[in-house]
Structure 1
Amino acid sequence: MDFTDVSLVALRVFREVAERGTFTAAAAALGYTQSAVSRQIASLERAAGSRLLERRREGVVLTAAGQVVLRTGAVILDQLDAAARELAGLPVAGGTVRLGWFPSAGAVLLPRAISAVRRTHPAVTVTTREGSTPALVRALRAGTIDLAVIASAPPFRPPDAETPALKLETLAERSLMLAVPTGHPLAAYDAVDIGELRGQRWIAGPASSGELLMGVWPGLDERPVVAHTVRDWFAKLQLVAAGAGITTISASMAPAVPAGVRVITVRGGPQELRRTILARLPGRLPEPVALLAAALRAATTELPLA
């Protein structure tokens, strides 16, 4: 493939499609029509002489050739962006780390790690973005973030089957717990049996393909009554405090619960563990990225164990 025949627009569109997972989402993010996105991808595939994306009902998947083009294209785009920033007098990309994180990681872990980096290495700039684990994995592959803090539930499979395999480091493995209003009958106990969760009103995140219904205790032997559907974890906990229902919570979030919420454990059924994982592409880490990774490890050791 001769990259002299490829437009930068096509490369940016291709990276956006790879990150977003669909032509429709990429078009919305870029402000393009879907047909314009399709034309850019078609021009890139003609230049490559190979199909770069496999179209599936649930979205697109990179072919082997697509992975090569994405890796090479991401380097080209990052170098051009770094040059543009330097010419504009902004900090160069070498001092910037782009971190992605799943929602509940932003409650305690993320602020502690970023605060530590700012205190010990003020020249390092950390930018962050929130997203679901599948979205963050796509962003890593697309080269738009350097590190991702993602979540994993049993049986703890790799987050994707693409190559090269991501480098995964378990930062923490914690028990899933239950957040209940302080005035709720369950709040009188430190631990409750799973059978006592029948008939409860749940506060959960919106269900999506390939992801768990976050907020409902796994393995209930009934169809859960979801009284409130909320994506934001702090909003969930505020609803719990208001007595609107109960929700699941990672033990690591216990320090962030508001007044009016009690965190308890659940007995019976399979042990529900959740892992917080640091994910990245293989290869040597630039120093700023390594510094943030070390800060995330250190911050994790300060979080509650159960």
Structure 2
Amino acid sequence: MDLANVPTVALRVFREVAERGTLTSAAAAMGYTQSAVSRQIAGLERAAQAPLLERRHDGVRVTAAGQVMLRHAAIVLDQIDAAERELAGMPAEAGSVRLGWYISAGAVLVPGALAALRRAYPAITVSTREGTTPVLVRALRAGSLDLAVLGSVPPFRPPDDESPPLKLRTLAERSLRVAVPVTDPLARNDSVDVTELRGRRWIGSPSTRDEKLMGAWPGLDERPEIAHTARDWLAKLNLVAAGCGVTTVPAMFASAVPPGVKVLTVRGGPSEKRRTVLARAPGPLPEAVARVAEALQAAAAQPHPMVP
């Protein structure tokens, strides 16, 4: 085994592949060809004398040896980045935290937590990015995120089956809601029976490799008509306000809807709960990361309109 002479570029490529889930995505993100990425991974595996990735039809999965490599690669790369900052005369970032969040958490939860954090701990620097739950989980495993706010649906299984398991903390568990135009007859009340949602035109989110279509009520006893698809929540809600259809929203989103939209609870049918979970890799919790986690917990506990 000869890891002493492994170039840092190979470690960066490996971390990117582990996070992106495919060689193709990693190559595109780094501006490399796929063959160049493959050569870096092959060289790293030769140095480790072990397979670091399991090639599968839908991408790659990090092996047990690869998880060990990821943990140490994250430490090495973080130290190199810190050294580069110091040599460039930039301030140290001992209080920096990297936070990932799934799309609906960015409307209320994350901004509220960061605003409170700035008031209480102004020295802590937080960088954030949005992603699907599978992407954020891979980023935690790759060491490029410290915390991730994830969405979870029943039966609320762990976000992956890798070992060791991620540390999870439930921030909130609330019922799914439906957003309708204020001009819709349904908007006369604060709730709607699930049977009244039949035959509606829905505004959904496009399906991806990591994420299924969202936006239609999950408990419908018919195939929903998807009239529009948009990944951006504000676009979806503005389409609702324009009378183009209805969509589902998380409960904590109720305080962030634009004018022209009313959020309703749904009666009847199976209970559609949604859970917001804070995840991190196992291991010691740095103080700055703990403070961010506390701020997220406090923000999630804040009352929101129409939220029990």
Shorter-chain TM-score tier: over 0.9
Q: Tell whether 2:241 aligns with 1:241.
A: yes
Partner of 2:93: 93
Matching residue of 1:196: 196
1:4-49 Cα offsets, whole Å, 9 max, x none, are 1211111100000000000010001000011110010010111111
Q: Is 1:168 paired with 2:160?
A: no
Q: Distance in 2 between matches of 1:59 and 1:105?
A: 27
Residues 1-306 of structure 1 mapped to structure 2, 5 A cutoff: 1-209=1-209, 211-304=211-304, 305-306=307-308
Cα distance in 2, alignment partners of residues 191 and 113 from structure 1? 29
Q: What is the CA distance between 1:265 and its match in structure 2?
A: 1.0
Q: For 2:176, what is the secondary structure of its paired residue? A: strand
The number of aligned residues is: 306
Q: Quick one: distance in 2 between partners of 1:85 and 1:108?
A: 32
Q: Deviations over 1:50-85 (max 9, x none)?
A: 111001111110111111111111111111111111
1:92-143, Cα deviation, whole Å (9 max, x unpaired): 2311100000011010111111111111111111100000000000000001
Q: Deviations over 1:148-168 (max 9, x none)?
A: 000000000000001110000
Percent identity over paired residues: 67
In the TM superposition, residue 188 of structure 1 has moved relative to its aligned partner by 1.8
Structure 2 counterpart SS, 1:179: strand
1:212-251 CA distance string (max 9 Å, x none): 3221110322221111110011111111111111000111
Question: Matches of 2:198 and 2:291 in 1, distance apart?
Answer: 46
Distance in 2, Cα, partners of 1:295 & 1:89: 31
Distance in structure 1 (CA, Å) of the matches to 2:168 and 2:250: 20
Counterpart residue identity of residue 137, structure 1: V
- CA–CA separation in structure 1 for the residues paired with 2:88 and 2:303: 40
Distance 1:135 1:172 in 2: 21
SS in 1 for 2:248: strand
Residue 231 to residue 303, structure 1, CA distance change in 2 (3 Å): farther
Aligned partner of 1:193: which letter? D
> For residues 210 and 145 of structure 1, do their structure 2 counterparts lie closer, same or farther at Cα, with a shift above 3 Å needed?
closer
Quote the offset at 1:210 in angstroms. Answer: 5.0
- Distance in 2 between residues matched to 1:78 and 1:138, nearest whole Å: 17
TM-score by length of 2: 0.97
Distance 2:215 2:197 in 1: 13
Most deviating of 279-288 and 83-92: 83-92
Instruction: Supply the distance in 1 between the matched residues of 2:135 and 2:173 (Cα, whole angstroms).
Output: 22
| Alpha-carbon distance in 2 for matches of 1:161, 1:177 | 30
Give, as a single letter, the amino acid of the residue that structure 1 aligns with 2:81. Answer: D
TM-score, normalised by the number of residues in structure 1? 0.97
> Does structure 1 retain, via aligned residues, the 8 Å contact 2:135–2:210?
no
